[in-house]
Amino acid sequence: MQVQWYPGHMTKARRAMQEDIKLVDLVIELLDARAPLSSRNPDIDELGRQKARLIILNKADLADARANKAWEIYFEDKGCTVVQVDARRRADMKPIQAAILSACREKIERDRRRGIKNRPVRAMVVGIPNVGKSTFINSYAGRACAKTGNRPGVTRGNQWIRLSKDVELLDTPGILWPKFEDQEVGIRLAMLGSIKDDILNTDELSMRLLDCLSARYPEALKERYQLPEEAYGKGPAEILAEVARLRNCLLKGSELDYGKAARMVIEDFRCGRLGRITLELPD
């Protein structure tokens, strides 16, 4: 399966981000907890060089709790400060202030040595489309100051938001383009909904998802679709057919509507109706 991605406007986005990053002390990088490496553009290491870094494992509510812990340890071992959140929940924002100050302790210490007092930490949020940047900013800043939507590419605007006496946040998140020389990464991003649906073959995508789920989360499929035990030994095409049959996805003449079943499986995964699922684990 070929996942196509035409970066076009991304060169402009990268340039804008390069400029914005010069203005901040801290880069807050949002990753999708269901696939943290696939949803991470490693170019940020270069772009955010010499800046403090904070990793937010977002959509943690949709990801496997044990996997969230494993990823937290993985990134902490690399020297990052890490927080798991459901960005829609204000309550999940409580640890963020402390995490920001912890990630910036060297800068704060440096300011103190130079006698600079009360200069707030300046931060910006970055991440791939649809990872939850606007939702995070809204929840953290406590008001609707960044437009949110469930389609990639809706963020606009540019201002500083004073969050406390210690922290200022750029209200425009930096959009990182997804990066995948590896097709598997592209497929995971497609499953998450980080790539526009219209460039994908939904049937194939759903089968890749079913393949992964039947191997790693068979209980989730069983519970959601009441799949019979014998369905798991079969290939993803048969599982998709079984789902179509059990869910009455039918075309005229009672033929199975694979397309409808495929869209349903993908949507069920994205919305968490299949339970908490993580697509990739640390090595």
Ligand X SMILES: Nc1nc2c(ncn2[C@@H]2O[C@H](COP(=O)(O)OP(=O)(O)OP(=O)(O)O)[C@@H](O)[C@H]2O)c(=O)[nH]1
Give me the sign of the Cα torsion angle 36, 39, 43, 46.
negative
39 near ligand X, rule: CB under 6 A: no
Least gap, CB of 152 to ligand X (angstroms):
4
Helix (H, G, I), strand (E, B) or coil at 108: helix
130 near ligand X, rule: CB under 6 A: yes
**Residue facing ligand X at closest CB distance:** 132
Least gap, CB of 19 to ligand X (angstroms):
18
**Strand (E) positions, the chain?**
26-32, 52-58, 81-84, 121-127, 160-162, 167-170, 174-175
Site string for ligand X, 157-196 (x = CB under 6 A): ------------------x---------------------
DSSP 254: G
**Best CA proximity match to 279, nearest among 31, 56, 53:** 31
- Which DSSP helix (H) or strand (E) runs through 218? helix 218-225
154 near ligand X, rule: CB under 6 A: yes
Interface with ligand X in residues 85-104 (CB under 6 A)? 86-88
155 near ligand X, rule: CB under 6 A: yes
Q: CB-wise, 95 or 228, nearer to ligand X? A: 95
Least gap, CB of 251 to ligand X (angstroms):
30
Residue 52 marked as a ligand binder = no
202 near ligand X, rule: CB under 6 A: no
Per the structure block, which two tokens stand in for 249? Answer: 């996805």
Stretch that binds ligand X, among 6-14, 59-67, 162-170, 196-204 (CB under 6 A): 59-67
150 near ligand X, rule: CB under 6 A: yes
Helix 236-246 with 218-225: angle, nearest 10 deg: 20
Q: CB-wise, 140 or 217, nearer to ligand X? A: 140
Between CA 106 and CA 102 the distance in angstroms is 9
Least gap, CB of 146 to ligand X (angstroms):
7
Stretch that binds ligand X, among 19-27, 143-151, 178-186, 236-244 (CB under 6 A): 143-151
Q: CB-wise, 58 or 214, nearer to ligand X? A: 58
Q: CB-wise, 95 or 153, nearer to ligand X? A: 153
Block residue for tokens 């014998």: 230
Mention every residue, 6+ apart, whose C-beta is less than 8 A from residue 246. Answer: 225, 226, 227
Q: CB-wise, 110 or 156, nearer to ligand X? A: 156
135 near ligand X, rule: CB under 6 A: yes
Q: What is the 3-state secondary structure (H, E, C) of 185-202?
A: HHHHHHHHCCCCHHHCCH
Mention every residue, 6+ apart, whose C-beta is less than 8 A from residue 48. Answer: 21, 27, 29, 126
Q: Please provide residue 122's backbone torsions phi and psi, each rounded to the nearest 5 degrees.
A: -105, 130
Task: Tell me which residues touch ligand X (CB under 6 A).
Answer: 58-59, 61-62, 86-88, 127, 129-135, 148-150, 152-155, 175
Binding residues for GTP: 58-61, 130-135, 174
